[in-house]
Amino acid sequence: MSKWNFDFEQMIYKDVPNIPKKTTKKKRPRLMAVINDSCTGCEACIDFCPVDCIDHVPPAEYTGAVIPPVRIRWHECIGCQICAKVCEHLAWNAIDMLPIDEFERQAGIRVTDDILQEGTAAPAAVA
């Protein structure tokens, strides 16, 4: 690798976090990741999520572009902001971080410390 390539890559990727080790939700987050209308479904954020709480909107719930946008499963999000930083630097800045109280007010739900057991459906957020 030439010196120019190394410096160029460092300049572009210096603020993008490394892909983290996977973890699980431990407590109620202070912030919640929310996908905005800029999402193209590019999946840049998915591999960086340490709790795997980002996936595509199921086709049955989305009719529109060929590639549906991603969604955050809010009951699994730990508010780490990694997805928002990755999206800001590598994609479209389509993930907003909201204070948890504002998210709860807007979505009409209450986020708790509870971890859902596998196979249990999360309560739906009110739009």
Residue 119 reports pLDDT greater than 70: no
pLDDT tens-digit readout, 35-71: 999 998 999 999 999 999 999 888 777 777 678 889 9
Instruction: Specify the CATH number for 25-107; select among 3.40.50.2000, 3.40.50.360, 3.30.70.20, 3.40.50.720.
Output: 3.30.70.20
Q: Hey, what amino acid is at 51?
A: V
State the Cα–Cα distance between residues 93 and 96, nearest whole angstrom. Answer: 8
Looking at residues 115-122, what average pLDDT do you find? 54
- pTM metric for this prediction: 0.71
Domain ranges of the chain: 25-107
First to last CA, the chain: 49
Looking at residues 81-107, what average pLDDT do you find? 94
Write down the pLDDT at residue 58.
Answer: 85
Q: Could you tell me how far CA 89 lies from the centroid of its own chain?
A: 14
